[in-house]
């Protein structure tokens, strides 16, 4: 029986790696993950590190599965937590193993909530990260903003739909320009930053945002 462990490495600060994840990484024969994801945990890797990129992830995961079939302890690392916008990778691993052991991590979304004093039970999480279309997610965001009953926590899509683009799309869909929101960049890193905007001001923003940015629209008071 092939077993592969999938674990969340936290939002960037290595001190936010769980003890359980740290132990699984240090005991593994093989530790795979995207290059940026392996970085915060590199000091704990004692076996073979297998960095992967989007374009070769299938091949790297095939090698991980082959090693697991030989009885090696294999771990695949995911950024933040597994249950937040990591489904595609988790499912890629699940397709290759008889059994996957899932170890949760601390999500950047939890850090965002902590910084802003928000509660998940009063919030909705929307990711635009899915490779497939984003129309449905945007339509859902519009609905949540119109209702105003929940905080909307939004993950932009780094390679094409960044905060200013999202602001413009929401304005086109009739959301008010004075709608307040926060942007949080590089949460838990030493250069973490946050800024308050109105939707109208964000639509005009020319400064670049980090790939690690979360947008939060607070619920109406
Ligand atoms: C594919 S999603 C994975 C989220 C991850 N599973 C988690 O729980 O944090 C990547 C997106 O999460 C957000 N993100 C991850 N880490 C972040 C951080 N340290 N600060 C701000 N946003 C972050 C960004 O929106 C980024 O584009």
Name the phi and psi angles at 103, rounded to 5.
Answer: -115, 115
Position in ligand 1 atom list of the atom nearest CA 184? 21
- Please enumerate in sequence order all residues whose Cβ is within 8 A of that of 124, keeping only pairs 6 or more positions apart, or say none: 140, 144, 150, 151, 152, 153
Per-residue pLDDT at 132: 64
Per-residue HEC secondary structure of the chain comes to: CCEEEEEECECCCHHHCCHHHHHHHHHCCEEEEEHHHHHHHHHHCCCEEEEECHHHHHHHHHHHHHHHHCCCCEEEEECECCCCCCHHHHHHHHCCCCEEEEECCCCHHHHHHHHHCCCHHHEEEEECCCCCCCHHHHHHHHHHHHHCCCEEEEECECCCECHHHHHHHHHHCCCCCCCEEEEEECCCCCCCEEEEEEHHHHHHCCCCCCCCEEEEECCCC
Question: Quick one: 3-106 is in which CATH superfamily?
Answer: Tetrapyrrole methylase, N-terminal domain (3.40.1010.10)
Name the phi and psi angles at 76, rounded to 5.
Answer: -115, 125
- Which of 89, 125, 155, 159 to mutate to test ligand 1, by most ligand atoms within 8 A of the CB atom? 155
Domain ranges, ordered by start, for the chain: 3-106, 109-217
What does the alpha-carbon distance between residue 81 and residue 37 come to, in Å, rounded to a whole number?
12
The answer, yes or no, to whether any atom of ligand 1 lies below 6 A from the CB of 167, is no
The answer, yes or no, to whether any atom of ligand 1 lies below 6 A from the CB of 85, is yes
Per-residue pLDDT at 160: 86
The answer, yes or no, to whether any atom of ligand 1 lies below 6 A from the CB of 215, is no
pLDDT by residue for the chain (221 residues), tens digit each? 899 999 999 999 999 999 999 999 999 999 999 999 999 999 999 999 999 999 999 999 999 999 999 999 999 999 999 999 999 999 999 999 999 999 999 999 999 999 999 999 999 999 998 766 788 899 999 999 999 999 999 999 987 899 999 999 999 999 999 999 999 999 999 999 999 999 999 999 999 999 999 999 999 87
Specify the pTM.
0.96
Which residue has the CA at smallest separation from atom 13 of ligand 1?
A: 212
The encoded tokens of residue 190 equal 């030493």
Among 147, 83, 146, 150, residue whose Cα is nearest residue 121: 150
CATH of 109-217, one of 3.10.310.30, 3.30.1300.10, 3.30.950.10, 3.10.290.10: 3.30.950.10
> 74, 96 in Cβ contact below 8 A?
no
């Amino acid at each position: 029986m092939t077993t592969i462990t999938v674990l969340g490495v936290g939002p960037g600060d290595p001190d936010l790696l769980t003890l359980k994840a740290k132990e699984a990484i240090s005991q593994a024969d093989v530790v795979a993950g995207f290059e940026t994801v392996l970085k915060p945990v590199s000091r704990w890797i004692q076996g073979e590190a297998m960095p992967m990129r989007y374009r070769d992830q299938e091949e790297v995961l095939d090698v991980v599965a082959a090693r697991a079939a030989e009885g090696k302890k294999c771990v695949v690392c995911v950024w933040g937590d597994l249950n937040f916008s990591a489904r595609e990778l988790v499912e890629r691993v699940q397709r290759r193993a008889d059994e996957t052991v899932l170890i949760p991590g601390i999500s950047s979304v939890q850090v965002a909530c902590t910084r802003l004093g928000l509660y998940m039970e009063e919030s909705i999480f929307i990711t635009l990260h899915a490779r497939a279309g984003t129309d449905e997610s945007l339509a859902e965001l519009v609905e949540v903003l119109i209702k105003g009953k929940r905080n909307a926590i939004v993950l932009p899509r780094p390679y094409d739909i960044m905060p200013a683009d999202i602001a413009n799309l929401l304005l086109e869909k009739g959301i008010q320009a004075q709608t307040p929101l926060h942007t949080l960049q590089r949460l838990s890193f030493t250069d973490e930053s946050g800024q308050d905007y109105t939707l109208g001001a964000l639509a005009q923003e020319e400064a670049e945002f980090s790939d690690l940015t979360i947008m939060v629209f607070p619920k109406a008071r």
